[in-house]
Amino acid sequence: MRRQVKRAALCWLGAALCAAASAASGEQPGVTRQIPGTEPPLEQAEPPPEQAEPPPEPNVPHDFLPVEDRWRIMESLGRGEHWYDPYNFNWLKADRPVFGEHWFVNARLVSDSLFEPRRLPTPVGSQATRRRGSLDVFGEGEQYLAAETLIGSISLIEGNTVFRPPDWEIRVTGAWNGNHLRAEEVGLVNIDPERGIRRTDDHFGLQEAFVDRHIANVSDRYDFWSVRAGIQTFQSDFRGFLFADSNPGIRFFGNYLNNRLQWNLAAFRRVEKDTNSGLNTFVNLRPDDVYVANLYFQDFPVLGFTLQGTVVHNRNDEGGAAQHYDSNGFLQRPAPVGSGRPHDYQVTYLGLNGDGHLGRLNLTFAAYLALGEDERNPIPDRKVDITSGMVAAEASVDFDWLRTKAFALWASGDEDPFDGDATGWDPIFENPNFAGAETGFWQRQAIPFIAGGGVILSGRNALIPSLRTSKEEGQSNFVNPGLWLIGVGGDFDVLPELRLVTNASWLAFDDTSVLQVLRNQGPIDREIGWDVSAALVYRPLFTENVVLRLSGAVLFPGDGLHDLFDDGPFPLYSVLANVVLSY
C-alpha cells in the first residue's frame, strides 16, 4: 500500500512539472510538439500578431551630433593657440577663420642655408691673371659658394575645404637670396678682371602672386574645374624633365571620375631670371611663350599606376630683341657661339609619362618627341628643322629598410651640324629629380665649354649638354651632342630619421660631331665618365620642418672629358651642406 501511494505521488509531481514547462515555453496543453524541419498543420498555425507602433524616440542625445564649424571642436576642448606652433591649433595654419565664417590664412616660412665647395674646369683669364707666370690653359678650379634663401608665403583662402577645393585662394610668395662666391681665377665672378675673385650679391624675387577661382563642381564627389591667374609654379611632368618653372600665366585645371582623371590647360610667358640667385625679376618679361595641355589617368593601365599624356608648345620670338647681358657682364642672348646671330624658334613637345608601381616594382618613365624649326641656328648659321627626342626610366624595389634602383636616360644628339636637321634634344626649363638629382656632380654643377665660346656643357640643376649660355637666361639649342646616362643606386634607412642615398652613373655623349666643330678639334671620344655620389639626409623631427643634408659627388673623367679638358683639374668634385627649416 505504501509503495502504491509513493508511485502515485511521483506521477503527480511529474505531471505538474511538465505542465509548468509547457506554460513557460508558450505551448498549449494537449498540443503535439512540432518536429524540427516540418510545417505545423494549418489548424495549429498561430495567426500573425498585429503590428505594433514603434515606441516614441527617447529624449536622449544622439550618437552623432552635427557640428557647424570644425574649428569649434578645438575651442570646446580648451586647446591653447600659439602662433609659433604649427602642430597644434593655429590660425596661421588655417585652423580657424580670421574674418567672416569661411576666410582662412595659411602662412609658410622657409630658410634654406647652403655651403658648397666644388672644383670645375676653369680657364686662365683671357684678359688677365692674378698668378704670375700662369700660361696654362687651365687654372685653379676650386670655388666656394655660400648662400641663404628665405621664402615667405601667405595664402588667403575662402571656403569649407575639408572635402572640396576652396572657392577662392589668393597667394603671394616672395624669396630673398644672399650669396657669396669665391673663385681662384679672375674673370669668373665678373667679366671685368678688376672685380677680383670674390662676389657678394643679393636679390628679392616674387615667385608666386596669383588668384585661384573655383568655377564649379562637376560631380557629387567634388570633382571640379578651377582657374588660376598670375605668377605660379608649374611642372609639366612627374620628374621635371621638360618644364618646371615659376612664371606669369593663366591655367585652367580640374579632375573627373572621382579624381582618376586630372587635366591642365595653361599658357605662360617666361620672366627674366636674376643671374646669381635664379629668382624671378619683377618687370622683365621675355618674348618666350609656353602653352601646355596634359591629362593624367590614375590607376591606368593597372591599379596603382598613373599615366600622363602631354603636349607643350614653346614659341620664342627673341630674334628681333636686343642683346641681353647678365648681371655679371656676360652675353646671354644670342649665345656667343657660331655666327652669334639672334634667332627665333618654335617647337612642339609630345610626351608620354608614367609613375606608380606594378606590384612590388616602382616604375617611373618619360618619353618625349620634339618637332619644330629654328629660323637661324647660330652653329650652322641657317634655318634647321627640329626632330629630336628623349627617353628616361627608373625602376626600384623596396626590401624593408633598403630601396634598390636602376635608371637610364637617352637624349638624342646631332650627328651633322650642317645638314639642316637639328636632332639634339633640349627641354624648355628642366629641373629633373632623377639619377641622384642635386646630389650628383653632372646635374648639380654647370661645366664650362672651354674655348667654345661663352656656353656651358650642362647647366646647373640640369642634365642635357645643350650648349646654352645658361638654362635661366639662354635660348634652347637643338644642335648639341645629346646624352647617355646609365646608373644604379640604393637608399638606406639607417635610422627612422636618417637616410643614406647613394648613386653611381656612367655618362657619355650621344654624338660628339658638334663638339669637334666648335672646338676645331679632331676626334673627341663619347665617354664623359663616372659620376659617383652619396648623401646623408637627417630629419630629426621625422617631418620636413627640419632637414639636414650632407652630400658629396665626384666625376671621374672618361676619355671624352680628357679630350675636351686635357689634363684639367681632375677629378671634379662637389660638396653640399644644406639646412632647410620650414614653418
- 3-state secondary structure string, 460-485? CCCCCCCCCCCCCCCCCCCCCCCEEE
In a domain, 354, yes or no: yes
In a domain, 360, yes or no: yes
Lowest mean pLDDT among 78-82, 273-277, 316-320: 78-82
Q: pLDDT tens-digit profile of 146-163?
A: 999 999 999 999 987 667
In sign, the C-alpha dihedral spanning 512, 515, 521, 524 is negative
Mean of the per-residue pLDDT values for the chain? 87
State the pLDDT at residue 200. Answer: 97
Lowest mean pLDDT among 187-196, 497-506, 551-560: 187-196
Q: Does 129 have pLDDT greater than 50?
A: yes
Lowest mean pLDDT among 90-94, 496-500, 512-516: 90-94
**φ, ψ dihedrals at 234, nearest 5°:** -145, 135
In a domain, 342, yes or no: yes
State the pLDDT at residue 122. Answer: 81
State the pLDDT at residue 273. Answer: 96
- Cα distances (Å, whole numbers) of residue 46 to 37, 49, 51, 375: 17, 9, 15, 98
State the pLDDT at residue 102. Answer: 84
In a domain, 157, yes or no: yes
State the pLDDT at residue 71. Answer: 65
Q: Which residues of 56-88 are buried (b: 16+ CB within 10 A; e: fewer)?
A: eeeeeeeeeeeeeeeeeebeeeeeeeeeeebee
> Model confidence at 194, in pLDDT bands (50, 70, 90)?
confident
CA distance 258 to 265: 20
CA distance 563 to 321: 36
State the pLDDT at residue 114. Answer: 97
State the pLDDT at residue 37. Answer: 47
pTM of the model: 0.85
In a domain, 147, yes or no: yes
Residues, the chain: 583
Lowest mean pLDDT among 13-22, 221-230, 281-290: 13-22
Helices (H), 82-164: none
The count of domains in the chain is 1
- 3-state secondary structure string, 218-257? CCCCCCEEEEEEEEEEEECCCCCCCEEEEEEEEEEEEEEC
- Average pLDDT rounded to a whole number, residues 296-308: 96
In a domain, 471, yes or no: yes
In sequence order, which residues have a C-beta less than 8 Å from that of residue 152 and are 6 or more positions away? 107, 108, 109, 110, 173, 174, 175
Q: pLDDT tens-digit profile of 168-179?
A: 999 999 999 999
> Per-residue DSSP letters for 535-555?
EEEE-TTSSSSEEEEEEEEEE
Quick check: 296 and 259 in contact, CB under 8 A? no
Q: Higher confidence at residue 56 or residue 109?
A: 109
Q: Higher confidence at residue 27 or residue 64?
A: 64
Q: Does 16 have pLDDT greater than 90?
A: no
In sequence order, which residues have a C-beta less than 8 Å from that of residue 153 and are 6 or more positions away? 107, 108, 109, 171, 172, 173, 174, 208
In sequence order, which residues have a C-beta less than 8 Å from that of residue 431 and are 6 or more positions away? 240, 244, 245, 461, 462
In a domain, 424, yes or no: yes
**pLDDT above 70 as % of the chain:** 83
Q: Does 257 have pLDDT greater than 80?
A: yes
Quick check: 551 and 536 in contact, CB under 8 A? yes
- Average pLDDT rounded to a whole number, residues 108-113: 97
Lowest mean pLDDT among 58-62, 445-449, 480-484: 58-62
Cell numbers standing for residue 417: 651640324
Q: Higher confidence at residue 30 or residue 247?
A: 247
- Cα distances (Å, whole numbers) of residue 19 to 6, 14, 23, 31, 41: 20, 9, 6, 12, 23
> Model confidence at 493, in pLDDT bands (50, 70, 90)?
very high
> Phi-psi category of 447—alpha, beta or left, where left has phi over 0 and alpha has psi -120 to 50?
beta
Q: Higher confidence at residue 193 or residue 465?
A: 465
Q: Does 135 have pLDDT greater than 80?
A: no
> Per-residue DSSP letters for 146-190?
EEEEEEEEEEEEES-TTTS--SEEEEEEEEEEEEEEEESSTTSSS
User: Between β-strands 361-377 and 382-399, what pairing exists: parallel, antiparallel or unpaired?
Assistant: antiparallel
Beta bridge partners of 534: 502, 552
Q: pLDDT tens-digit profile of 355-407?
A: 999 999 999 999 999 999 999 999 999 999 999 999 999 999 999 999 999 99
User: Between β-strands 361-377 and 168-183, what pairing exists: parallel, antiparallel or unpaired?
Assistant: unpaired
- Average pLDDT rounded to a whole number, residues 473-486: 96
Cis amide linkage into residue 41, ω under 30° from 0: no
> Phi-psi category of 78—alpha, beta or left, where left has phi over 0 and alpha has psi -120 to 50?
left
Q: What is the CATH number for 128?
A: 2.40.160.100
CA angle, 524 as apex, 521 and 525 as ends, to 5°? 170
**pLDDT above 90 as % of the chain:** 68
State the pLDDT at residue 269. Answer: 97
Q: Does 139 have pLDDT greater than 80?
A: no
Q: pLDDT tens-digit profile of 509-548?
A: 999 999 999 988 889 999 999 999 999 999 999 999 999 9
CA distance 349 to 256: 25
State the pLDDT at residue 306. Answer: 97
Lowest mean pLDDT among 98-107, 235-244, 344-353: 98-107
In a domain, 482, yes or no: yes
In terms of residue numbers, what domain contains 413? 102-582
- Average pLDDT rounded to a whole number, residues 261-289: 95
User: Between β-strands 421-422 and 382-399, what pairing exists: parallel, antiparallel or unpaired?
Assistant: parallel
- Cα distances (Å, whole numbers) of residue 163 to 91, 311, 517: 19, 31, 60
